[in-house]
Structure 1
Amino acid sequence: MADTQELFAELFGDASDGEGAGSPDEIDNEFAHHDALLQLMNDSTFLGSASTPHVDEPVPGFKIHRNALHPALCTAFFDWLSAEYFPHTSTDTSAKRINQGMHFGAMTDASTPFGFLSRMCCEHPLLLPKEVRERPVLFDQAIINLYDPGEGIGDHIDLLRFGDGIAGFSFGAPALLRLRPVKDDDIERAARYADHDNGVVPGEVSAWIKPGDIYAMAGEARFRWSHGFPALHHSGDPVLDGRRISVTLRKLA
C-alpha cells in the first residue's frame, strides 16, 4: 500500500481526496447530493438522447459523443462533485484553494458515480477502440478539476504512465477544447509540462465540450496531439461565465 501511495504522490503530488468535510450540515448536504445522483443514475430516462448518438472525430483517435447524458443528470453530477470534492470553495478565498481531487480504483461497479461514467464510455462502440473497451479494467483513476469562470488549463499530453484511451466529461459551464499536433521530439516534454508556445500551430483543432458530452482520446490523439482548455472570458454571459468541473478517466499502464 505504501508503494502505491508513493506512486500516486509521484504522479500527482498532494491532492484532495474528497474526505474531511467539516460541519454536520456539510456532511448531510453531501449525502443528499449523492442520493439525488444515484436516483437519476438508476432512471434510464436520464441517460441522454434516445436517438442514435452522434460522434464527431475532428482528429484521428479523438471523438466526441454528443448529448450522452441528460441535462438533469449533468446537474446532479455537478452538485455531487461540488459537495464531495470542493465543499469549501464557495467561501474560500485563500491562494491555496482546493481545485483538484482524485479517485483511485477499478471503476467496474456501474452503481457508483465513476463506475457509471466508465460504463457510459462503452455505450457507443465508436467512442473508444475495441482493444481499449474490452480490457478487464477500463479505467482505474479519475482526476476531478474545478474551474472558476475564465480559468483554463495549458496544452499538454497526459502523463505517459497512463495507458491508451482517456475519456473526459465536463459539468457546469461549456468549455473550448484545443488540440495541437506535437513534434516527435516534443512528446516526452509535452507529457510533463503544459508549456506550448502561444500562437497558431498548423493543424490546430478546437471543439466545444458541453455538459452531457463525452470526449475520448486514443491512439494518435492520445500520444501525438496535445490538448488544453484556453482561458476564456465572456463577461455578462450567464452560461459561459459559470463554474465548470471536469472528470477525466484514465488507466495506469
Structure 2
Amino acid sequence: MKNKISVWLLFPLLLASVSCGNSHNQKNTEVPVDCPLKKQGVNARGMKPFEDVKKYIDFLERKDRNGWQKPEAVISSIGLKGSEILADIGAGSGYFTFRFSKELPRGKVVAIDVEPGMIRYIHHKAKTSRIKNIEVVIASYDDPRVPENVDVVFMCDVLHHVKKRGEWLSKLYTEMKKSSKLILIEFKEGNIPEGPPASIKITSKEMLSLMAGAGFKLIKQHSRLLAYQYYYEFEKK
C-alpha cells in the first residue's frame, strides 16, 4: 500500500522524461514522429530524462487496475454515438484515451495533460500504431485548454491534483460549449485499497459544491458501477 501511495504523490512532481529528439547524449531508439511539443512551445531538446515518468506510466497501466477501474463499463455507460469529439483531461499514459479512440471511429479524442512526457508518449504510440483520431494538447496548471468544439470532457482521478479548483473549474466551464457533457470520476473517502492518501482526496460534498459553483448541472450519478470511485455526469447549462 505504501508503494501505491508514493506513486500517487509522484504525479504533481513529475518532470518530462521523453523528448522529441536526442538529448543529453542519450540515444533515441524511438521511431521518429512529428513532434507535438515543438508545435506547442516546449523545448524538447532541453528536457532531462526522468525515470519516474515511465514509472508512473507503468503504474497507470498495471494489469490489476482493470478489475476495479472497469474502463469498458465506464465507457459504455457514457453512451457515445461514435462521432463525438471527446477531451480526456489528465490523459496520462492514455489508459482511457486509446480505449475511447476505438469507440469514436467517426469522432476524435483530444488527450490533454500538463506533462510533456505523457503527451509525447501518447502521440508516439498513436502515430506508430497508425491511430488517426487522437490529438494531443499540453495544458497548464491553471488552464485545461479544452478545444471549443468538444462534446464530452472526461476526467478520471484528476481534480484532486488541481490546487485552485474553483478557478480551474470556472475556466473549464468557459471553455466548454453549451450542453456539452462532463464526466467526473474521483476516489471515494475512507479506507479503500486504491487511490491517493486521504489528505489529498476530495469529499463528495466538496466536489458537488465546486461543480455547482462553477456553473455545472448534475445530471446523473453512477453509484454502483465503481467500488472505489465516485462517478458523476455533469452538463454545461
TM range (shorter): 0.3 to 0.5
TM-score by length of 2: 0.33
Structure holding more helix per residue: 2
More strand as a share of residues: 1
- TM-score, normalization by structure 1: 0.31
Structure with higher RCO (Cα < 8 A, 6+ apart): 1
